[in-house]
Amino acid sequence: VTLVGRPNVGKSTLFNRLIGENRSVVHDMPGTTRDTIDTVVETENGPVRFIDTAGMRRKARVDESTEYYSLVRALQAVDTADVSLLIIDSTEGITHQDQRLAERVDAAGCPILVLLNKWDLCDEEAREDILGQVGDRLHFIGQAPVIRISALSGRNVGRLWPALAESVMEYQTRIPTRRVNEVVRAAQAAHPAPGGVRVLYATQGATDPPTFTLFANREVPKTWLRYLERKI
């Protein structure tokens, strides 16, 4: 399980709370964690390995060799993760950099949990705003669970454990072909693909991540594929 986020969003604080000891240096100065740190935690469902990554900044701002190689190792951790926790600072909202990180994690093909950290520091108006931002700016990650937490106080952190187990189980699920085609037909009826494109048949080819093969009368537009992906 890889913890991912911009510098100073609370990754190390959450990491320390999850493993039950102080392994990562926690400081209010961005960039304190300069490399990946990992620990295995024994749970009732078996061992879970948590990896705390260095805060990811835009490449143009990565100006030290140590920070560059820390970024490389962080990206490697994302690529090999079974689940990634995308940590957002609720007090700052979802930034452009958060969006880029979400895209990078999504491309790795593992389940994503969106954690809105520092939730207790937001008033009601700010909370409504950031929840709207999740739907608007992170729409491409579909139905990823969104959990509102405070890593510092521990509020709602306990909800991560069942969410992690459920996310892994969903990614390993195989859907019957009949059900896949029912969903595809319903999606086409509700919102037909442009240009006369029609999916004739669909089947699940793999799990982890769930991968589907479509047979269509012509090339399916990418925008409609994204729509169908959300429906499935």
Whole-number mean pLDDT of the chain? 83
- Percent of the chain scored above 90 by pLDDT? 45
- pLDDT single digits (tens) 216-225: 999 999 999 9
Bridge partners (DSSP) listed for residue 43:
46
Cα–Cα distance for residue pair 126/139, rounded to 1 Å: 19
Q: Can you give the pTM of this predicted structure?
A: 0.76
Cα–Cα distance for residue pair 70/61, rounded to 1 Å: 13
Q: The domain at 177-231 falls in which architecture? A: 2-Layer Sandwich (3.30)
Instruction: Please state the rounded mean pLDDT for residues 88-94.
Output: 94
- pLDDT single digits (tens) 33-87: 445 678 888 887 788 889 887 655 555 444 554 444 455 566 777 788 889 999 9
Sequence ranges of the chain with CATH classification 3.40.50.300: 2-171
pLDDT at 183 over 80: yes
Cα–Cα distance for residue pair 85/96, rounded to 1 Å: 18
- The count of residues in the chain is 232
The residues, ordered by sequence, that sit 6+ positions from 155 with a Cβ below 8 Å of its Cβ are 119, 120, 149
Sequence ranges of the chain with CATH classification 3.30.300.20: 177-231
Q: The domain at 2-171 falls in which architecture? A: 3-Layer(aba) Sandwich (3.40)
